[in-house]
């Protein structure tokens, strides 16, 4: 399973890259707004840090506006993936981008039928938001299971990119279900390696190592 980091914070991206764990980056308007910087400047800097798919989301909600932005993003860097919302205009733009050879990440997916439409439109990635479903007492990981099964039934090439990840269990379950990618906030990436028994065991080894004759 590929790990993308879900942030526009360059310091977090640099730290995650240094861990050697990152295969790509996803951003969205909310994450970029937090940086206080221009969208293009942030994406260009990220492209210089990570050699993998970098998702940049269109800000338009109409087809024409989406396509105008998609063409601009596609020229910024070969690794830029254009993020499009799962709306009828977004699906139309996904189809047009696919035909133009522009990679897409269809975002704000909350149902299996939406994911089916994105795959039929030729999306490169589909981003089901598991955390936001869990937040309203729905079952985000059940959606992932349904999408993986449906895509396998019809051999769709669209990659399942689990998004809106809230904790390490989401990562564990995404891997068990065979998701292609998990995009993970930096805080959760740091949590993945932590285990109290590892910490306790290492402390004991360090203590006992002092007893080894030098
Ligand atoms: O990539 C989508 C992700 O950033 C959404 O996460 O925590 O806003 O639901 P969240």
Report the catalytic residues: 83
The pair of structure tokens assigned to 143 is 């959606």
Tell me the CA–centroid distance for residue 159 and ligand 1, in Å.
17
Handedness of CA 191, 126, 111, 13 (dihedral sign): positive
Which ligand 1 atom lies nearest to the CA of residue 31? 4
The region that residue 178 occupies, defined by phi over 0 for left and psi between -120 and 50 for alpha, beta otherwise, is left
- Look-up of token digits 């830029």: 80
In the structure, what pLDDT confidence band is assigned to residue 70 with cuts at 50, 70 and 90?
A: very high
Which ligand 1 atom lies nearest to the CA of residue 132? 9
SS3 166: coil
Q: Which structural domains are found in the chain, ordered by start? A: 2-209 (3.20.20.70)
**Model confidence over 1-25: pLDDT tens digits?**
999 999 999 999 999 999 999 999 9
The whole-number pLDDT of residue 165 equals: 98
In the structure, what pLDDT confidence band is assigned to residue 67 with cuts at 50, 70 and 90?
A: very high
Q: Give per-residue burial for 151-185: e unless 16+ CB within 10 Å, then b.
A: beeeebebbbbbbbbbebebbebbeebebbbbbbb
**Model confidence over 22-60: pLDDT tens digits?**
999 999 999 999 999 999 999 999 999 999 999 999 999
SS3 106: strand
As a whole number, mean pLDDT of residues 167-176 equals 98
The whole-number pLDDT of residue 204 equals: 98
**Model confidence over 76-126: pLDDT tens digits?**
999 999 999 999 999 999 999 999 999 999 999 999 999 999 999 999 999
**From 28, 110, 130, mutation site for ligand 1 pocket: most ligand atoms within 8 A of C-beta:** 28
Distance in angstroms (rounded) separating the CA atoms of residues 31 and 181? 19
**Model confidence over 43-53: pLDDT tens digits?**
999 999 999 99
Contact 183, 12 (CB under 8 A): no
In the predicted model, what is the mean pLDDT of the chain?
A: 98
């Amino acid at each position: 399973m590929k790990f993308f980091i879900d942030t526009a914070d360059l310091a977090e991206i640099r730290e995650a890259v240094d861990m050697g764990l990152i295969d790509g980056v996803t951003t969205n308007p909310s994450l970029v707004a937090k940086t206080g910087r221009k969208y293009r400047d942030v994406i260009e800097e990220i492209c210089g840090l990570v050699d993998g798919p970098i998702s940049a989301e269109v800000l338009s909600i109409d087809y024409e506006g989406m396509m105008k932005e998609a063409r601009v993003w596609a020229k910024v860097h070969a690794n830029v993936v254009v993020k499009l919302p799962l709306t009828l205009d977004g699906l139309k733009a996904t189809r047009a981008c696919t035909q133009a050879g522009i990679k897409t990440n269809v975002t704000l997916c909350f149902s299996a039928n939406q994911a089916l439409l994105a795959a039929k439109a030729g999306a490169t990635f589909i981003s089901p938001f598991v955390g936001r479903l869990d937040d309203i007492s729905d079952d985000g990981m059940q959606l992932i299971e349904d999408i993986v099964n449906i895509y396998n039934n019809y051999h769709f090439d669209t990659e399942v990119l689990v998004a809106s990840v809230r904790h390490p269990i989401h990562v564990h379950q995404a891997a068990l279900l065979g998701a292609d990618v998990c995009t993970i906030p930096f805080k959760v990436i740091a949590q993945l390696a932590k285990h109290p028994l590892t910490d306790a065991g290492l402390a004991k080894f360090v203590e006992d190592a002092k007893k080894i004759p030098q």
